[in-house]
Structure 1
Amino acid sequence: MWDGPSDGARQLTDLTDSSGAPVLQLVADNRGMVPPFYGPPTGSERLWVDFGAGRIGLLATNVGERLVQHQGAADPHQDRAYADERLLNYLPRSGADLPVPAGADWARWVVPTIPDNTGSAWKLKTADGTEYTRVLNSGTVLIDTNGPRPALCIGAPAYGAGQVVINVTNSRSTTSTAASVLRVQGDGSVISAGSVTATNVGSARLFSGPNAPASPRPGDVWVQYG
């Protein structure tokens, strides 16, 4: 018994009969039939025998059963498990949780250095092509809801007085209050560096302190204390 048809093939000696006893030599009966035997446990799908008329290949009798079992297996080549592992930190499957380690970015969009208000780094569209909320390449966030829904809801249950929920600065964005032009704090305070204009707010100014305003205007209010 050999593992190949060529002269350089390796002769196999670890054969057993159906009961597991070692087989030293294969002997065909008077009909030319070879009794059942087991070859090497792995690595040899076809064995070659020679009864004096040249080597003849023998194929394992359980190939069909193994093929059916292979076809019915959930992931016989482990390619699905490999793909899931590779894509775990890229795109989540529908309904799946995406674990993001602390201090790590889940995704980064690389956009042109020159501001671009025509391209979008992120866009929400419906099946008919209508665009809703999107993030432009320039960083502008446009919030449009699909239907009559609240456009922007910010929950901040752990924020209190002095903690900034919304901070608009006149420089690059920051969570601190430095250079803020508008702040909304956790206690509901709204602090504006400029004037607030509304239909129910006039042009009056409110001052408080020991001294009157240096240049009062009509409608100004001064609350003296101290």
Structure 2
Amino acid sequence: MDTDRHLFGGDVCSAAENSQGVRIPNTYGVVYRHKNASITETDLLTEGGSPVTRVHSDDRGMVEPFYGPPGVSTMWMDFNAGRYQIFAVDMDTRIANHLTDGPDEDPHGTLRTARAEMESYVSKIGSNDIDAVGTSAEWIRVASDDTDANVATLRNREGIARWALKKDGRMDIQPAYRPETAKQYAIRAVTKADAVAYAVSNADASGASNTFTVKGDGSANFSGDVTLNKPIIAPNVGSARVYSGPEEPRNPKTGDVWIAYQVDGTPDKGAV
């Protein structure tokens, strides 16, 4: 049945009557789209869906159920005693379906339109997984001339941004410090011992090779110089200090190492 058609008749208010108000059983009447319409409405269907051009009363004089033209919820009926207005009897069902998930849950087509638009951009895999359609498709694009603009942020309940991804690719991380928390991570990479957990590459290098890597076993590799502003602390070094130059250290301590060399840069074999 066409869902745009409203149901009329079959209720206590829809009766076929003569000019004295007496019901007329088993008779035919006509309907009009408007009170002063000159042409009768013939686009009608029985309750079972069969086309009819007139309406009929049962053996009690009550108008049998019928469907009007699409989109029409009120008409005028005449059983040769003058026209009187008749209203659709399915309005309560229509309203209920607007408020609940009934068979007509999308009467305006807004859900169908929204879903069609979304499916043309993204393909939903799971409850919260969205896979961009196509190799060059973009799911989210932030258009801004400000390179400091946030593309995505993670905020706590107080509104403080603890994680922010910038438009130029930078990432700001500010985890909340909690003394009672045993483990506090700003960035944590869990990987196998021989796998690279963190890597830095030189953007100016043609090969873009890694210049600094940290593996899962804790080993680190540097391709450039390492500058330290504090003493090295390690099991095989202890508190020893290493000096080099033409003159010996001013305040040497036990365990210090002095690598002497002459002014011209050649090692001084006599000084250790």
Contact kept, 8 Å, 1:15 with 1:24, in 2: the verdict is no
Give deviations 1:145-189, integer Å, cap 9, x for gaps: 1234211012345x956x7852321439xxx96354323467765
Residues 84, 98 of structure 1: CA spacing in aligned structure 2 closer, same or farther, 3 A cutoff? farther
Contact kept, 8 Å, 1:2 with 1:9, in 2: the verdict is no
**Which residue in 1 is equivalent to 2:144?**
111
Contact kept, 8 Å, 2:74 with 2:85, in 1: the verdict is yes
With normalisation by structure 1, the TM-score equals 0.57
Find out whether 1:121 has 2:151 as its counterpart.
yes
The CA distance in 1 between the partners of 2:45 and 2:142, in whole Å, is 61
Unaligned runs of 5+ in 2: 1-29, 179-183, 234-240, 244-264
**Which residue in 2 is equivalent to 1:98?**
129
Find out whether 1:39 has 2:71 as its counterpart.
no
**Which residue in 1 is equivalent to 2:91?**
63
Contact kept, 8 Å, 1:17 with 1:36, in 2: the verdict is no
**Secondary structure in 2 aligned to 1:67?**
helix
**Which residue in 2 is equivalent to 1:191?**
221
Within a 5 Å distance, the mapping from 1:11-50 to structure 2 comes to 11-12=41-42, 16=46, 26=56, 34-40=61-67, 43=70, 44-50=72-78
Give deviations 1:93-120, integer Å, cap 9, x for gaps: xx9413214744432323326x44xx43
The CA distance in 2 between the partners of 1:51 and 1:57, in whole Å, is 12
The CA distance in 1 between the partners of 2:203 and 2:222, in whole Å, is 12
Which residue type is aligned with residue 63 of structure 1? M
Within a 5 Å distance, the mapping from 1:73-92 to structure 2 comes to 73=101, 75-77=105-107, 79-80=110-111, 82-83=113-114, 86=117
The CA distance in 2 between the partners of 1:67 and 1:82, in whole Å, is 21
With normalisation by structure 2, the TM-score equals 0.50
Contact kept, 8 Å, 1:15 with 1:37, in 2: the verdict is no
The CA distance in 2 between the partners of 1:170 and 1:13, in whole Å, is 74
**Which residue in 1 is equivalent to 2:201?**
168
Find out whether 1:2 has 2:34 as its counterpart.
no
Number of residue-to-residue matches in the alignment: 193
Pick the aligned partner of 1:153 from 157, 171, 188.
188
Residues 164, 72 of structure 1: CA spacing in aligned structure 2 closer, same or farther, 3 A cutoff? closer
Unaligned runs of 5+ in 1: 205-214, 219-226
The CA distance in 1 between the partners of 2:138 and 2:45, in whole Å, is 57
Which residue type is aligned with residue 107 of structure 1? I
User: How many angstroms does 1:134 deviate by?
Assistant: 1.7
Find out whether 1:178 has 2:208 as its counterpart.
yes
Q: CA RMSD in A?
A: 4.6
The CA distance in 1 between the partners of 2:84 and 2:145, in whole Å, is 67
The CA distance in 1 between the partners of 2:211 and 2:242, in whole Å, is 19
Give deviations 1:35-56, integer Å, cap 9, x for gaps: 2313236624333222345432
User: How many angstroms does 1:132 deviate by?
Assistant: 1.9
Give deviations 1:41-77, integer Å, cap 9, x for gaps: 6624333222345432212334334434543336343
**Secondary structure in 1 aligned to 2:76?**
strand
Structure 1 range deviating more: 179-188 or 46-55: 179-188
Which residue type is aligned with residue 4 of structure 1? R
